[in-house]
Amino acid sequence: MIGGDSGPTHFAWALNRPSITLFGPTPARRNTLEGALNKTISSPSSVDPMHLNRNDFSIAEIDPEEIVQVGRELLVSDKAVSKEGN
């Protein structure tokens, strides 16, 4: 699952499914837990958790190649975790 900080990515995390959560001007550390199957990618925007800029659309600046790279790493990781569970 690849998406923003929303229900579908939270469900993926809860169900122990590979997920990438994309963050714009919100702090990833505050809103998610990273693990072997759950990764975050943040925009280059500076984050001030006390004064969030709702007009900051820097999430669009996340490099798609970075998302692809992390996704590939998750797929490899998911296969390793699946083999351990069998």
Per-residue tens of pLDDT for the chain, all 86 residues: 999 989 999 999 899 899 999 998 888 887 777 888 899 999 988 877 778 778 888 899 999 999 999 999 998 876 656 666 55
pTM of the model: 0.81
Number of domains into which the chain is organized: 1
- Structural domain containing residue 29: 2-85
Q: What is the pLDDT of residue 67?
A: 97
DSSP, res 15: T
Q: What is the pLDDT of residue 71?
A: 95
User: What is the DSSP secondary-structure string of 20-44?
Assistant: EEEESSS-HHHH----SSEEEEE-S
- Distance in angstroms (rounded) separating the CA atoms of residues 51 and 22: 19
Q: What is the pLDDT of residue 84?
A: 62
